[in-house]
Each structure stands twice: as structure tokens, then as C-alpha cells.
Structure 1
């Protein structure tokens, strides 16, 4: 899979990448009238978010998104012959209109962008965020994981309110060194690696 862009989150005046969630999603575009579609192999979801935590509340600050649908043509046997993307007018989000791109030099992977949203979110669960990539070269596939960074935190939320924070940097670097092969949890070490993560961080994280 092509390298995928991570969402970002500003916390304590620092920009982090969102690397994992214990459950659900921080922001659901469908709940706000969007139908996200992919226009880039670098973002299969069709949208990207910048979040922030301010005064203990989780917010959506910026959204890049494609809003549209696909129309399909079919072969006589019922299989899909081709599909065409149709972009739709961008709706208001939290009372704000999207800035839509007018050429390929502006946020080229997305149809439009919403700035200054400050939309409060009601997420409940744990969020792994990370900063300072260990490897700064090109990324070839999938999402960057929390142990691909020097510094990581786990933030806990209850209905969008920050309830706890935990520095997970050392935990994840030990996990990588002890259980991973080239950054991946594989083979005979997988069971013990999962036990280590569940004991020191918790359950539910997708990449674990």
C-alpha cells in the first residue's frame, strides 16, 4: 500500500501525528453530511484532519476533504467496467465554508479545505500521538506507527474531555527493539509483543 498521511494533533504547543486510536474515529465526516472519496493513493480515506486540545477539550481545527461519489458502468456479466468520480458541492461545516482549490498547486490531494473550525468533538477512548520521526527518509507504505518516532504520548478522553496523559516513548521503543523485525510484529514474537503492549498501554489499538 502507498504511504498514507496521518492526521495531526496540536498538544501543549507541539504538533504530533496521530498514530493510533483505541476505538472508533476522532471525526466522522458522514455525521456532518460528507461522502468522502479518494482522489490520491496517499489518502485512501479521502480526508485528513488537524486536531487540537485546548483547555482540556478536543477540537477539529482544519479539515481537508473530497466530497463526492462514484458512478459505475458494468459489463454484461455484471462486473464493474469503469467508475467515474463526481465531486459534489462542499457543505458548510460548523458554519464555515470550504476554500476550494483552483489549481493543482493548492492542497492537490483534496477538493477543499476548512480552516478555523474549532469544532468540539465527543471522542471517548485513548489516542496515541507521536513526534520526531526516527527515520526521516521517504515512507513507502502504510501509516507511520507510534514506535517510528522518538517521542510518543497516550491521551485519554471522555466525551471529548482530556482525562489523562501518559508518556509512552520508552515503552514503545522497548517494544520495537524486543519484539519487532524491521518495525513489524511478526512470527513467534507476536503473542509476547501483544501481551507487552496490553500490559503497558492497553487494549484496542488497531496496529497492535
Structure 2
């Protein structure tokens, strides 16, 4: 197993990893009539996205995917650009409003010593951790969880190493536990 490619969120000039959510994913290839297929062991779900938060609103700005049947449809009038080396296509320069209602956890400043070579990295492995509550794609609340993540620094890695069977399953979960 391999650490998974995360979605990226651009917020206030910084890149954040999307490491947790409550509710479904903000947007998927299925929303555009496409079915993803595994890209690699680092991307089992078959796609990854870049979002931007601008004017307290969530937008999809890029999507890279491997479409199961090789049927890449335009997104927002944008044609995909192929990457034959990865057998994927990318949709760049999008600005699709995402009407997501739920919570997203964004993190930056990864602490390398906390790396788990499996699934998604947890909040306790990052310096900055922000929880966003959204209603119909609009930010209604931002809660800084960085201090709590710092207090639990490395807790998930320690627990993972002590209980690998549990850790494998938990590492692929995008829950909102701090760990």
C-alpha cells in the first residue's frame, strides 16, 4: 500500500492538503458523467482535484483523472490535456463553483517524522490544521485546530505502528478525528 494523493485547496495564497471531510466529497468525475479508474497505488480513487477558496466560496480549478473507458468529456467547456506517461487527463483553468455543504479539513506544514506510508496523513502530522464549514459552497466558519494537532503530534503514527491491521483501515478514512 502507498500514501494517497490528496486533493489540494488554495487558500489565502497557500496550498493546503484536504485531509478530512464530513459529507460526501465536494465533487467527483461522476458529477461530469465520467467514471474514474485507479491511476496508481498512490491514487486508488482514480482522480485528484485542486480547489480554490476565493471570496469565501469554493471552486474547482483543476481535476486530473483516469477515466475507466477513456471517455473524457469537457468540464465547464474545458477540454482535457492528456498525460500519456501517467495515462491520465487533466482539466486546467477551471472555475466551477462547488455547492458543497459539509466540513473540510485542510492542512499544511507536513511534519516528515509523522509520515505513514499508507492512506492519507492525519491532522497530527501537520503544523497548520483548519476546519471549514460550508453551506452550498460558501464558507460559514473556519476553526483553527493547529494547537490541538500539535498536542497530539505523532499520535496516529504511534498507534498505527502498534496496531497495523487497524491502522491500514483507519489511514484510508478521511474522518475529522485529530489524531
TM-score class normalised by the smaller sequence? 0.7 to 0.9
**Number of residue-to-residue matches in the alignment:** 168
2:109 to 132, 151, 160: 132
Q: Which runs of 4+ in 1 moved over 4 A?
A: 136-139, 183-187
Rg comparison, structure with higher value = 1
Name the counterpart of 2:169.
none
Q: Counterpart of 1:88 in 2: which secondary structure?
A: coil
CA shift, 1:44, in A, is 0.3
So what's the TM-score if we normalise by structure 2? Answer: 0.84
Name the counterpart of 1:149.
126
Superposed CA offset, 1:145-184 (max 9, x none): 121111111111100001111110011222346x656164
RMSD: 2.4
Q: Point out where structure 1 has 5 or more consecutive residues left out of the alignment.
A: 69-86, 188-204
Q: Point out where structure 2 has 5 or more consecutive residues left out of the alignment.
A: 164-173
Name the counterpart of 1:92.
74
1:5 aligns with 2:5: yes
Superposed CA offset, 1:13-60 (max 9, x none): 110000000121111221210100013111000000001101111000
Q: Counterpart of 1:182 in 2: which secondary structure?
A: helix
Alignment of 1:30-69 (within 5 A): 30-68=30-68
Change (3 A) 1:25 1:167: same
Name the counterpart of 1:71.
none
In the aligned structure 1, how far is the partner of 2:162 from the partner of 2:115? 23
Name the counterpart of 1:206.
175
Q: Counterpart of 2:30 in 1: which secondary structure?
A: helix
Q: Counterpart of 1:100 in 2: which secondary structure?
A: strand
In the aligned structure 2, how far is the partner of 1:136 from the partner of 1:61? 31
1:23 aligns with 2:23: yes
Change (3 A) 1:181 1:139: closer
Is the contact between residue 100 and residue 113 of structure 1 (CA under 8 Å) also seen in structure 2? yes
CA shift, 1:111, in A, is 1.4
